[in-house]
Amino acid sequence: MAAPATPLAPSARAVRTVAFVEGVRTPFGKAGDKGIFAGTRADDLVINTIRELLRRHPELPPERVDEVAIAATTQIGDQGLTIGRTAALLAGLPKSVPGFAIDRMCAGAMTAVTSTASGIGFGAYDVVIAGGVEHMGHHPMGEGVDPNPRIIADKLVDPSALVMGQTAENLHDRFPAITRQRTDAYGARSQERYADAVKAGKIGPELVPVATRSAELGWGLATEDEPPRPGTTVEQLATLRTPFRPHGRITAGNAAGLNDGATAAILADEETALELGMPVGMRLVGYSFMGVEPEVMGVGPIPATEKLLKRTGLSISDIGLFEINEAFAVQVLAFLDHFGIDELDERVNPWGGAIACGHPLAASGVRLMTQLSRNFAEHPEVRYGMNTMCIGLGMGGTVIWENPAFDGGK
């Protein structure tokens, strides 16, 4: 009888270090017929980001890309058809490069990164491209979706859980200390910080110009975000209506709008990145996703962060920079209050956030990571940074990164 074959692989593998090389994004536009991307396809937006990454990194042979993961919340039309694969083909990557689509609503790009990063850590990939796209002007959230009636009839969730603005109003109910005055002040501050970052040249280098077309104006070139309203004051925000509830607290001034845009990033095993001569912008420490009651989805970042801190052995005081997605100001303030962080803390969204620049759902996670990576380069005294975001249908996601430029806090 023949001896059993020798196993081809060990039963346990060493986990490899995952590097965030660089992220880019299109300018973010306003959704709708008047938005800058009204005449631009969703897949063309993300194709532009992939091509830009390859242009910026000629040291990366295209055939070395092992996977392309692109997220979209509404996977239909020009952001359907397994968009990770179609975008890879249209961006000019070799036909040997596979791709897939992914959906975790607002955390789509975040999940594209964490899923492929796990593959890098395990050894299945050396280099990947991960990102997200959302063209809410072409495909409003939930377009073509038929929620199972039992979700409501069986009282699995409150009916408000299916409307994100109503979940934010619910969060105000749960945390009465978070007043509209506080959220309006936060919204104005996001606009101010974003405007200051643009003037200082901190926001702009990561943007990919995109050709646009308008029936009225003809061809153009989008080079900057469309949603920001510099000079916004708290007094102006106080006059805005509350569309989700009479005499409510959620307005267009203390929440992100409906937006179009795309993001993409290169991730790699750190040894591979160094071998190819690619920069290392961040190192992955860990990530976590948690579910919460869908009707208060904005609270999701809190348990996701608590879980990740426990797993990594870190404390909230170890985090020197935070990039928190500003879907709604109330959700950010709930997170800060829970962890005892002052809402004026300069470590939190120092260049503003989604209330100013926009939140094209599945694309936003990589925007947060890209800004954190660029902030790391300016802050060698900071070792750890965090991205966190709330997610529709009651979830939260958090990722912790290490700064490769950390100088020991000198």
Q: Which is nearest to 82 in space by CA: 133, 27, 40, 6? A: 133
**Of 137, 43, 139, whose CA–CA distance to 91 is shortest?**
43
Cα(190)–Cα(323) distance, rounded to whole angstroms?
12
Evaluate whether 282 touches 376 at the Cβ level (below 8 Å).
yes
Name the DSSP class of 403: -
Q: Is residue 250 part of a domain?
A: no
- The distance from CA 248 to its chain's CA centroid, rounded to whole angstroms, is 27
CA atoms within 13 A on the CB side of 235: 1
Write the single-letter amino acid at 224.
E
DSSP 207-229: B--EEEEETTTEEEEE-S-SS--
Residue 225 lies in a domain: no
With respect to residue 70, please indicate whether it lies within any of the assigned structural domains. Answer: yes
| CATH number, domain with residue 345 | 3.40.47.10
Specify the pairing of strand 282-291 against strand 259-269: unpaired
**Does the annotation count 357 as an active-site position?**
no
Question: Within the chain, which residues score under 50 in pLDDT?
Answer: 1
> Distances in Å between the alpha carbon of 6 and those of 3, 11, 13, 14, 124?
9, 12, 17, 20, 21
Between the two ends of the chain, the Cα-to-Cα distance in Å is 66
What is the domain range of residue 365? 18-139+255-400
Q: What is the mean pLDDT of the chain?
A: 95
User: Which DSSP helix (H) or strand (E) runs through 271?
Assistant: helix 270-276
Catalytic site residue from 135, 139, 357, 390:
390
β-sheet bridge partners, residue 328? 255
Q: What does the pLDDT read at residue 4?
A: 53
Residues 6+ apart with CB under 8 A from 257: 30, 31, 227, 358, 359
> Does 405 map to a domain?
no
Q: Are 331 and 183 in contact (CB under 8 A)?
A: no
What's the token pair of residue 267?
């991730």
Quick check: is 85 in a domain?
yes
Number of domains in the chain: 1
Q: What is the DSSP letter of 146?
A: -
Q: Are 326 and 407 in contact (CB under 8 A)?
A: no
Q: Is 310 exposed, middle or buried (0-12, 13-18, 19+ CB in 10 A)?
A: exposed
Residue 179 lies in a domain: no
Q: What is the pLDDT of residues 247-266, one digit of tens each?
A: 999 999 999 999 999 999 99
Find, among 324, 176, 170, the residue nearest to 250 by Cα: 170
The answer to whether 379 is a known catalytic residue is no
| Residue of 57, 106, 135, 357 marked active site | 106
pLDDT for the residue numbered 128: 98
**Residue 315 to residue 324: CA distance in whole angstroms:** 17
Q: What is the DSSP letter of 17?
A: P
pLDDT in tens, 138-188: 999 988 888 899 998 898 899 999 999 999 999 999 999 999 999 999 999
Q: Is residue 212 domain-resident? A: no
Could you tell me which of 409, 342, 357, 351 has the C-alpha nearest to residue 375?
351
Residue 5 in any domain: the answer is no
Question: Catalytic residue among 138, 139, 172, 359, which?
Answer: 359
Structure tokens at 373: 């990576």
Collect all residues with Cβ–Cβ distance below 8 Å to 368 and sequence separation of at least 6. 110, 323, 324, 325, 387, 389
Nearest to 366 by CA among 266, 260, 299, 291: 266
Tell me 7's DSSP state: P
Of residues 237, 161, 194, the one with CA closest to residue 350: 194
